[in-house]
């Protein structure tokens, strides 16, 4: 009997198993929580990252949810301000400086970088304010970089503005600060949360910002929606899913495929077929890997879809510190990020296989799904947490979790190929070792249940 038929059988079994539906539901809930998490985060700061109209920024989650849905439908039906045509207009407008006299006119052109500016306010800690307090927590470093950049005079208050070499949130926040300071005739703002809605969305500040951006000769990276867009949302969502959700699902699927089958006696029925046990093992591992890859790919695609619908499309900007969202901008990717997301799905699924093999190993020690899921998850989270502590930096190479995050290297520019290949190689070796151990136990094991 062919391996393909075995694999098809395993797929059918998994499709009919509860975990097949439960896993996507868990991921959907997680995605929803991420979405609302960002919304709440934004709401606390007086903005909603996916809201189109300033007058809806009430800080209410309900309102922001409503406006998110509204915005989503606007995007679906092509009436978004993030439409390609508008983006082209934005680009064109940016290249054409706004004249100072425009500031006195009553019309406020709705450029999309205004929207970018609002996004940026989600992370006000990134403000390296000249003459004011640095909220980034990386003050010295930020100031050093700012000071190193060519300084230019900004009309209004004379505050300095870093040159175009900087990009991303820090610079945009700086622009906001300068715009605020210029309009209020001050020497610079103290902190972003000090803004009131009224101040933030006053036409004067809006116009000042537009003027500043229009005359700053900024790089495209700044104005082409790179601050917080669908790609960034997807990256963060996948990152946290990789840490918290994918491992749980992996051990649940592995437990379903092995421990559950042993516990319910169906493994015995499988072993009465004229196939080698190693073939059964390979088919089961194959289905775990295939399922995880499919699940992660679909999840990434869904996150991209939702992210782009809610927050627009653009470059993927990744901070050096993913969680903090502050500091030096490490990389900015263009459309190539899409293919990287697909590749990362495969790498993540592959990197999770040592965990699956570990769960399978436990399945032979005690074939109870709850036990396998519990112990595997606890071991994973302990090792993952300890691996992040400096105290264990000398021995973290022993933790299998250390080598599982190789996928993040895909997003680095330039990519650290030796490190990436090295991590994958270690993962491969771990999988090989664990599968060999599982195979040894499985082939020799007496089946009584």
Partner 1 sequence: MVRESMDVEEKAGSYLEVRGVGKTIGTTPVLGGVSFEVGRGECFCVLGENGSGKTTLLRIITGLVAPTEGMVLLEGISPHEDPVASLARMGALIGIPAFYPNISAYENLRLFWDGPLKAADTHIMNALSAVGLADEKKKKVGVFSRGMLQRLGIAHACMHQRPYIILDEPTQGVDEYWTAKMRDLFRDMINTGKAFIITSHDFEFVMNLCSHVLILAEGRPAYVGDLKAIAEYPYYFHLRCSPADKAETVFTQVDYIHKRIRSGDEFYLTLPDGRASELVKALVTAGCRVHECAKKHYSIADLIRQRSE
Contact footprint for partner 1 (CB under 8 A): 1, 9, 12-13, 16-18, 264-266, 268-277, 444, 446-448
Nearer to partner 1, 19 or 222 (CB): 19
Q: Could you give phi then psi for residue 446, rounded to 5 degrees?
A: -85, 130
Nearest approach in angstroms of CB 440 to partner 1 is 14
Is the Cβ–Cβ distance between 49 and 119 less than 8 Å? yes
Give me the least distance between CB of 25 and partner 1, in Å please. 16
User: Of 39 and 261, which CB lies nearer to partner 1 in the complex structure?
Assistant: 261
Helix (H) or strand (E) holding 296, with range, is: helix 277-311
CB nearer to partner 1: pick between 17 and 322 = 17
Taking the alpha carbons of 105, 108, 111, 113 in that order, is the dihedral positive or negative? positive
User: How does DSSP classify residue 156?
Assistant: T
Q: What is the smallest separation between the CB atom of 339 and partner 1, expressed in angstroms?
A: 37
Give Cα separations from 277 to 285, 320, 418 (angstroms).
Answer: 12, 46, 36
Given the structure tokens 């996928």, which residue do they identify? 407
Dump the DSSP string for 336-394: HHHHHHHHHHHHHHHHTHHHHHHHHHHHHHS--HHHHHHHHHHHHHHHHHHHTSGGGTT
C-beta separation of 309 from 75 below 8 A: yes
**Least distance to partner 1, CB of residue 1, Å:** 5
For strand 152-153 and strand 160-161, is the pairing parallel, antiparallel, or unpaired?
A: antiparallel
CB of 16 or CB of 96, closer to partner 1: 16
Minimum distance from residue 353 beta carbon to partner 1 (Å): 24
- Reported as type and span, the H/E element at residue 330 is strand 329-333
Query: DSSP assignment, residue 106?
Result: S
Residue 270: CB minimum distance to partner 1, A: 8
Least separation in angstroms between residue 196's CB and partner 1 is 57
Nearer to partner 1, 9 or 388 (CB): 9
Comparison of 260 and 401: residue with beta carbon closer to partner 1: 260
Report the residue number, 14 or 288, with the smaller CB distance to partner 1.
14
- Give the span between the Cα atoms of 216 and 219, in whole angstroms: 9
């Amino acid at each position: 009997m062919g391996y393909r038929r075995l694999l098809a059988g395993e797929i059918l079994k998994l499709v009919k198993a509860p975990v097949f539906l439960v896993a996507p539901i868990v991921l959907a809930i997680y995605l929803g929580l991420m979405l609302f998490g960002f919304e709440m985060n934004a709401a606390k700061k007086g903005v909603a990252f996916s809201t189109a109209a300033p007058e809806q920024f009430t800080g209410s989650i309900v309102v922001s949810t409503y406006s998110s849905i509204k915005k989503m439908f606007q995007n679906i039906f092509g009436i978004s301000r993030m439409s390609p045509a508008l983006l082209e207009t934005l680009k064109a407008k940016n290249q054409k400086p706004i004249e100072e006299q425009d500031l006195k006119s009553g019309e406020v052109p709705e450029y999309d970088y205004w929207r970018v500016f609002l996004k940026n306010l989600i992370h006000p800690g990134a403000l390296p304010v000249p003459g004011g307090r640095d909220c980034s927590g990386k003050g010295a470093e930020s100031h050093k970089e700012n000071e190193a950049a060519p300084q230019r005079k900004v009309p209004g208050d004379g505050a300095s503005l870093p040159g175009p070499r900087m990009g991303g949130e820090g610079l945009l926040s700086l622009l906001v600060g300068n715009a605020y300071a210029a309009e209020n005739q001050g020497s610079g703002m103290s902190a972003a949360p000090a803004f009131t809605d009224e101040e933030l969305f006053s036409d004067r500040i809006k116009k000042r910002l537009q003027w500043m951006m229009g005359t700053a000769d900024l790089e495209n990276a700044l104005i082409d929606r790179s601050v917080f867009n669908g790609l960034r949302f997807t990256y963060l969502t996948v990152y946290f899913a990789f840490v918290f959700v994918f491992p749980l699902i992996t051990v649940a699927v592995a437990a379903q495929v092995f421990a559950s089958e042993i516990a319910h006696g169906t493994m015995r029925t499988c072993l009465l077929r004229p196939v080698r046990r190693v073939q059964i093992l390979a088919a089961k591992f194959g289905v775990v890997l295939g399922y995880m890859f499919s699940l992660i790919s679909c999840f990434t695609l869904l996150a991209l879809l939702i992210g782009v619908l809610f927050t627009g499309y653009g470059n993927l900007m990744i901070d050096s510190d993913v969680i903090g969202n502050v500091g030096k901008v490490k990389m900015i990717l263009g459309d190539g990020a899409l293919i990287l997301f697909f590749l990362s799905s495969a790498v993540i699924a592959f990197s999770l296989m040592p965990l699956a093999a570990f769960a399978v190993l436990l399945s032979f020690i005690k074939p109870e799904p709850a036990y396998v899921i519990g112990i595997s998850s606890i071991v994973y989270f302990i090792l993952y947490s300890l691996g992040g502590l400096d105290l264990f930096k000398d021995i973290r190479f022993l933790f299998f979790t250390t080598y599982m995050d190789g996928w993040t290297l895909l997003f680095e520019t330039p990519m650290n190929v030796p490190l990436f290949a090295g991590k994958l190689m270690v993962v491969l070796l771990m999988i090989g070792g664990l599968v060999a151990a599982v195979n040894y136990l499985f082939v020799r094991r007496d089946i009584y249940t």
